């Protein structure tokens, strides 16, 4: 809510999301790469420094891989829907000292409207992460996955209706998809990417958690589920033998949590009526 223009209708901006125009490749390894990219796209730790601390992800600007007409980051945007990605606020490498916000493009195209050629996507995205956002060097499969995800977005794949409701079920599904990708990557011996995928699932839990503001029981359960994932992450990093089994168990173990969250969903900020009552909290622009 801090990153949208004053006066944005919270119901439209936060109770729904644009439809994702994603065509998953049929070939399993290609599909896995897209799933890895899809999960990384919503993970703050992917972007380093200031952006990660603020919780910014690719998805903050490119909602569902699209644009974000409401986006207005204090100090980084001009008109709503624009951002300056060469800003020293985010980057110690590329900050050009000039405030030149550009419209956030819809990454699903059409292709003719995009400027980065499909073959150059990995290089471009690495530049975004490492130079513009001061992020750490991403795992090779994460970078390849982000490029594969962007390539798999296309107008012909846009589903109807054009907007979808934001629900607990949808965010939990994203978390499980990320963990499925984590399992596959761990089985293939790519621990770094598996860790990044667990981070992606945890980021989804974070998005759920903030919508249960003021609901102590639900938030405590979410924190417990997150703590389990943190343990799994550590186990993968340390190559502990139980890591794969724990990873496999989480999606099933978390079903009762999802049932409880869904039962309480109407009292949370997933309820569009409650969102409307929530105040948009704007931060002052940082000093330039
Ligand atoms: C702060 C908002 C913001 C964030 C975060 C962000 N982008 Fe962008 N992105 C933009 C803007 C603005 C442009 C257009 C830049 C320009 O025109 O020079 C852009 C351009 C792009 C393009 C080029 C599109 C084309 O025309 O071919 C790609 C690909 C892209 N972003 C992917 C990503 C990925 C992947 C991430 C996460 C690692 C990300 N973006 C994070 C705002 C953002």
Atom of ligand 1 nearest to the CA of 84: 12
- Give the whole-angstrom CA distance, residue 80 versus residue 66: 15
Ligand 1 atom 12: residue of nearest CA:
104
Ligand 1 atom 3: residue of nearest CA:
61
Q: Are 157 and 108 in contact (CB under 8 A)?
A: yes
pLDDT of residue 98: 67
Going from the Cα of 131 to the center of ligand 1, the distance in angstroms, rounded, reads: 13
pLDDT of residue 284: 46
pLDDT of residue 280: 54
Q: Ligand 1: which residues within 6 Å by Cβ?
A: 46, 56, 58, 60-62, 76, 83, 85, 102, 104-105, 107, 114-116, 121, 124-125, 128-129, 146, 150
pLDDT of residue 7: 84
Q: What is the pLDDT along the chain (288 residues), one digit of tens a residue?
A: 888 998 888 888 999 999 999 999 999 999 999 999 999 999 997 877 777 888 889 999 999 999 999 999 887 888 999 998 775 556 555 555 667 889 999 999 898 889 999 999 999 999 888 888 888 999 999 999 999 999 999 999 999 999 999 999 999 999 999 999 999 999 999 999 999 999 999 999 999 999 999 999 999 999 999 999 999 999 999 999 999 999 999 999 999 999 999 999 999 999 999 988 776 554 444 444
pLDDT of residue 253: 92
**Nearest C-alpha neighbor of 187 from the set 131, 243, 111, 140:** 243
Atom of ligand 1 nearest to the CA of 83: 12
Ligand 1 atom 34: residue of nearest CA:
58
Atom of ligand 1 nearest to the CA of 124: 29
pLDDT of residue 283: 43
Where b means 16+ CB within 10 Å and e means fewer, 254-278 reads beebbeebeeebeebbbeeebbeee
**Cα–Cα separations (whole angstroms), residue 70 to 38, 52, 77, 110, 171:** 22, 20, 11, 21, 21
Residue 137 CB neighbour total at 10 angstroms: 11
- Residue partners of 187: CB distance under 8 A and separation at least 6: 244
pLDDT of residue 99: 72
N-to-C CA span, the chain = 22
Ligand 1 atom 19: residue of nearest CA:
104
């Amino acid at each position: 809510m801090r990153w949208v223009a004053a006066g944005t209708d919270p119901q439209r901006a936060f109770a729904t999301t644009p439809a994702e125009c994603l065509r998953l490749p049929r070939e399993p390894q290609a599909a896995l790469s897209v799933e890895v990219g899809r999960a990384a796209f919503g993970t703050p730790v992917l972007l380093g420094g200031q952006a990660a601390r603020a919780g910014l992800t690719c998805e903050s600007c490119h909602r569902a891989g699209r644009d974000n007409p409401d986006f207005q980051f204090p100090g980084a945007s001009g008109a709503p829907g624009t951002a300056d990605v060469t800003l020293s606020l985010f980057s110690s490498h590329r900050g050009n000292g000039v405030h030149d916000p550009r419209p956030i493009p819809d990454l699903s195209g059409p292709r003719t409207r995009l400027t980065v050629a499909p073959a150059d996507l990995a290089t471009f995205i690495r530049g975004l992460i490492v130079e513009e956002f001061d992020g750490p060097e991403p795992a090779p499969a994460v970078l390849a996955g982000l490029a594969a995800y962007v390539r798999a977005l296309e107008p012909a794949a846009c589903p109807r209706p054009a907007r979808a409701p934001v629900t607990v079920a949808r965010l939990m599904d994203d978390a499980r998809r990320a963990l499925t990708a984590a399992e596959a990557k761990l089985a293939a011996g790519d621990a770094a990417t598996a860790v990044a995928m667990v981070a992606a699932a945890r980021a989804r839990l974070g998005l759920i958690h903030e919508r249960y503001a003021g609901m102590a029981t639900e938030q405590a359960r979410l924190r417990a589920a997150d703590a389990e994932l943190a343990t799994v992450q550590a186990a993968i990093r340390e190559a502990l033998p139980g890591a794969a089994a724990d990873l496999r168990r989480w999606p099933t173990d978390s079903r009762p949590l999802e049932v409880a969250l869904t039962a309480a969903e109407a009292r949370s900020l997933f309820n569009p009526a409650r969102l409307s009552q929530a105040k948009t909290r704007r931060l002052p622009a940082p000093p330039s």
